[in-house]
Structures are given as structure tokens and as C-alpha cells.
Amino acid sequence: MEKKKRILIVTQYYYPESFRINELGKELVDRGYHVDALVGIPNYPEGQYFKGYGIFSNRKECVNGVTVYRCFQFPRGKKASNLRLSLNYLSYMVCASLWILFFFSFRKKYDAVIAFEPSPITLIVPACLYGKIKNTKVLSWIQDIWPDSITDRTSGKLKELLYPPLNSITEFVYRNSDKILISSKGMKNLVCRNADYSGKVEYVPNWCDDFLNIKPSDKQIPDIPQGFIIMMAGNLVDSLDPESLCNCAELLKDIPEIHFAFVGGGSYKDQMEQMFKDRGLHNAHFYGRHPFEMMPLFYAKADAMLLSLMPQETKHLDVTVPSRLQSYMSAGKPIYAMIGSGAREVIESADCGFAVDAGDYRGLAHVIRKTYLNKNLLEEKGHNARVCFEREFTLKTGADHFERLFVE
């Protein structure tokens, strides 16, 4: 009988925090792997330790077959100030590294290490230490480009102070990773700008839930008007460029059957709703946040989905692929997008919608006006979206990527 391969997951965030690495851990267990995880004490996003977890409680537990070891980290704090975030990031890196040096490197042997980095890149350092000590393959799964994610939000002396150490840590991680897994193809050039890591870089897109196979809620959703419904689902935040979305809706107000439906809460929901009201726009409707199991009911009412991001001055944000894109594709809906190069490449490659440059609300209004009556074209785009989702963006496809990398 073949011995189970042993996998170590290193990440600051894990169940009961909600991140896709939870799904991968369970999937690998279901496929017969022995999986351990070295993580922090859960405190995201509330900023304080979850109930039942702390310095002296639940430091080791089994979650969906994964043995979870929780090392100490400072909680982020409710306001997540720069000081608290710095302490949170550094405390995990230091404490997880100590666990690696004085426990895992002596008592544990793994066939591969997966380091999952939603942010910051410092959390991959412990994984690299284990890889060096035990000569074990390290797969660094990055979601952001560092140090840009921090330094592009700072300036002056602070930027000069932060860039050198963060850049050194980033290059240490890249040098000591056997594979660097990126969620957007556009990230490759940014990863390789200081050295040629192209032989290590692998495109492993993020997956999402399959909305066509989720049992919908038996509750009723609010009434949605008759007509052509263009829906945006997910948190409503200022980075979605509400001003351009409002401008687009205003350019289309002469077509009474076109309606924009916004489903989600978020920090900018109230301001965004007021913005449309102040313009006297009656073709936009806000439905607030709803439970996950009700989303298939909303998607069923949509004729097309809407995606937007504010124009980005920095390249690392321009190549970002918003996670709601995969959700839209899973629902088999055509997509209208006002977006940067990363998501635009996905949409154009899959031929699943219509994409204009971020901020180009006139171009978006024009393409909607030109295509909204073409039912056959829209059905074809929606079909293409679903086909691409099944091929590239399912949990199964993602886990298949990792299994291949384990044995390469």
C-alpha cells in the first residue's frame, strides 16, 4: 500500500477565518494526503481572537481532517492601525519560524510545503526555513505583489524606510521557493523584475464556489423589476469606482428596460446608493447583503453581471483579478466590465463578455446599448463563461494543479 504523502500548510489565516486555503486543505485530505497546518490564532477580520481561541486554548485541533497547530500572534486590533498590523505580521513570522526551528524541523517530515500568502509576504518566511533545513519543496502561493502592496500606499521617508527590508524579504522568499504560484498571469513580470524567476512561476488561478450547484435558499428574494437586469454582487467599496458606474447608468437612463441591481453590503454601500439618488437615477436598485445560499436566486434574475475597478496608477493593482469575476463565470452569465488588464485578459480569453478600460464609463454604456437586445450573443457569452469556469476555476482544478506540482 502506497504511503500517504505528507503536506504542510503554512499560512497566517485558517479556519474559522474564511480563506480558500481551508478548502484546499480539506480537498487534499479527501484525496488521501496527510495534511498539517501551521497557522496563527484566528482574529481576522474582527481584530480580536475568536471565541474559544487564545494563547491558552485550542492551540492544536483537527479541522476537516487537517491537524492545525496555532502559533502565537498579536491580534490585528479592531481598528487595525499600522502599529497593530505590523505587530500582527511580525509576531506570526517570528513565532512560526521558532516552531519550524525547534519543533517541525526535528519531529516532522513532509513531502511538500504550501505557503499561502493573502498578505503579507513575511508569512512565507517560516515555510522557506523549513524547506532549507529539510530540503523540502516549497510552493509559495502569492495573492499580492510585494513590497508594492505596502510601499505604493506610503510616501516620503516612510516609503524609503520600508522598501529595502520588505524587498529583501520578498527576494529571500522568491529565491527559496521551488515554485511561485500566481493568481493572475500579469503578475509574472512583476515577480521577475529584479531577477529571472520565470522558471519557477506557475499560473494557478483562484477558484470559487459553484453557484449552479449550490442548493438555493427556500426564502424569497426582494422583488426585482422586469427588464434587462445588469447585476453587481459582492461588497460595495470605493475601489469599484462608484462615480463611473453612476455616470454609466445616467447615460443609459433613456432605455427604461435597463436596470442596474446591486446586491451586497460593504463600506461604501450607503454612499453609493445616495450618489444614484442625488442624480435622480431610477434605473439603479440596491438590495443590501444577503446570505450566501440566497445568491443563486439573485443570479437567476440577472441577464448580465457587472464588474468594475477604479483606474489604477500602479501596475500591481492593474493586474489584479477580482474574485467576484470567477463567481460571475460560475453562474454562467455574460459579463460587462470596466476593469484593468488582469481581469480583462481573462474575459477576453474566455470570450465571456465585454470589457472596456477602467474608468471608461462612456465605452461601457456604449457596449451595453449595442448588445443588450442581442439575446443569442449574450447566451453564447454566458455559456463561454461557464465552460471556462469548469475548466479553470473550480476547487478540483486548483487541487489538480497542486498535485501535479507535488510530484514535478
**Whole-Å CA distances, 4 to 1, 34, 36, 379, 394:** 9, 6, 13, 45, 24
3-state secondary structure of 37: strand
CA 125 from centroid of its chain's CA atoms:
21
- Please compute the mean of the pLDDT values over residues 313-317 and round it to a whole number: 68
3-state secondary structure of 120: coil
pLDDT at residue 131 is higher than 80: yes
According to the model, what pLDDT value does residue 46 have? 82
> If you search the block for the grid coordinates 453590503, which residue do you land on?
265
According to the model, what pLDDT value does residue 79 have? 76
Residues 252/369, Cβ–Cβ less than 8 Å: yes
What is the four-CA torsion angle of 337, 343, 345, 347, rounded to 10 degrees? -50
**Bridge partners of residue 288, in order along the sequence:** 263
**Hey, what domains does the chain have and what are their CATH numbers?**
6-207+394-407 (3.40.50.2000), 211-392 (3.40.50.2000)
According to the model, what pLDDT value does residue 313 have? 66
**Helices 125-134 and 156-175, interaxial angle, to 10°?**
30
**Whole-Å CA distances, 317 to 136, 152, 154, 341, 363:** 32, 10, 15, 9, 21
3-state secondary structure of 240: helix
Task: Output the nine-digit C-alpha cell for 132.
Answer: 532549507
> What residues contact 95, with CB distance under 8 A and at least 6 apart?
71, 72, 73
**Whole-Å CA distances, 103 to 69, 99, 108, 383:** 11, 5, 8, 51
Confidence band of 1 (pLDDT split at 50, 70, 90): very low
pLDDT at residue 32 is higher than 90: yes
Q: What are phi and psi of 126, to 5 degrees?
A: -60, -35
According to the model, what pLDDT value does residue 3 have? 67
> What residues contact 75, with CB distance under 8 A and at least 6 apart?
41, 43, 47, 48, 49, 84, 88
Task: Output the nine-digit C-alpha cell for 203.
Answer: 499560473
Residues 325/308, Cβ–Cβ less than 8 Å: no
| pLDDT tens digits, 143-161 | 888 877 776 666 677 667 8
3-state secondary structure of 394: coil
According to the model, what pLDDT value does residue 158 have? 67
Average model confidence (pLDDT) for the chain?
Answer: 91
Judge residue 30's burial from the number of C-beta atoms within 10 Å of its C-beta, 0-12 exposed, 13-18 middle, 19 or more buried. exposed
| pLDDT tens digits, 239-265 | 889 999 999 999 999 999 999 999 988
| pLDDT tens digits, 34-85 | 999 999 999 987 889 999 999 988 899 999 999 999 999 999 887 778 788 8
| pLDDT tens digits, 152-199 | 666 677 667 877 888 899 999 999 999 999 988 889 999 999 899 999
